[in-house]
Amino acid sequence: MNTRTKTTVRKSGAVTALALSVALLAACASTPESPSGASALRSNLSALQNDPDLAERARVELREAEEAVQLAEQPLPSSDARLAEHRVYMAEQKIEIARAKASTRYAEYQRQSMEEARSDERLTARTEEADRARAGVADLQRQIATLQAEVTDRGIVLTLGDVLFATGSAELQPGADGNLNRLVDFLNEHPERRVLIEGHTDSVGSAESNQRLSQRRADAVRSHLVRRGLSQDRLSTSGMGEDRPVASNETASGRQQNRRVEIIIENAPLTSGAGS
């Protein structure tokens, strides 16, 4: 082989090698690759889809995020790197939108649940309060019946007849203990109530002496209640004399009705929230 022929062969081989290299590079450049960040997208989306508190609250948004992730996961040649980056970015945004929507709706669900729970608690409290009030009224009615008292605008009025005192005397008879003991029990159960004790007489004798007698009898009842443990600060007395008869003083039975001591258990004071 002469020198020219050898040179031609060497040039031909070099050209062939160069062509093969170019073809190989071109092939490498056109081979599709998974975009960078696609695996992280899938991981983030799966975590959101598997969250029981969020997944059911953003179905539409999650479906759109799934479609965006699937698109971002599609392999692209390196020449389409910008397109791949754009798809990954859009998928990331779709995932964040779905997460934000779901989180907002879950927070609203929690707020409503807490409000419903508070409403249930308030309803239960009001029901219990009403039950206690009804029970209290029933118990008060039973106690009033036990006292043989009367409910009036002035309060609960217990009337003690003249059998508590000897004629012309302000000293309590032994038989007075029955009604007064029941009264003490009632007042101990209702410490918020104050008591007014009024003495009354018939019209026999002078008005002045009758007033003094009615006052002494009211004071005697008050002293008895204090001895039984009631605070004297809760008890006030007044001698009314013959000024407020409940029957005619022209008959013996009428005069007997007028000789009495009235114990007025004043109505309980209103609490601060009673008007609300």
User: SS3 of 146, please?
Assistant: helix
Mind listing the pLDDT tens digit for each residue in 27-39? 444 567 777 788 8
35 close to 73: Cβ distance less than 8 angstroms: yes
In whole angstroms, what is the distance from residue 235 CA to residue 228 CA?
Answer: 13
Mean predicted confidence (pLDDT) in 217-229: 93
Residue 13, pLDDT above cutoff 60: no
Mind listing the pLDDT tens digit for each residue in 133-192? 787 677 777 777 777 788 888 889 988 887 678 778 888 887 777 778 888 998 999 999
Helix axes 59-73, 38-49, angle to 10 degrees: 160
Q: In the prediction, which pLDDT does 5 show?
A: 54
182 close to 190: Cβ distance less than 8 angstroms: no
pTM: 0.53
User: SS3 of 68, please?
Assistant: helix
In the chain, % of residues over pLDDT 90? 49
More confident residue, 6 or 26: 6
Bridge partners (DSSP) of residue 263 are: 158, 197
More confident residue, 226 or 176: 226
Q: How confident is the model at residue 24 (pLDDT cuts 50, 70, 90)?
A: very low
Q: How confident is the model at residue 70 (pLDDT cuts 50, 70, 90)?
A: very high
Mind listing the pLDDT tens digit for each residue in 195-221? 999 999 999 999 999 999 999 999 999
Q: How confident is the model at residue 132 (pLDDT cuts 50, 70, 90)?
A: confident
In whole angstroms, what is the distance from residue 116 CA to residue 123 CA?
Answer: 10
Which CATH number applies to 148-266?
3.30.1330.60
In whole angstroms, what is the distance from residue 208 CA to residue 179 CA?
Answer: 29
Tokens standing for residue 95? 């995932």
Mean predicted confidence (pLDDT) in 228-234: 94
In whole angstroms, what is the distance from residue 243 CA to residue 275 CA?
Answer: 37
Among the listed ranges 10-14, 15-19, 87-91, 188-192, which one has the minimum average pLDDT value?
Answer: 15-19
User: SS3 of 186, please?
Assistant: helix
33 close to 78: Cβ distance less than 8 angstroms: yes
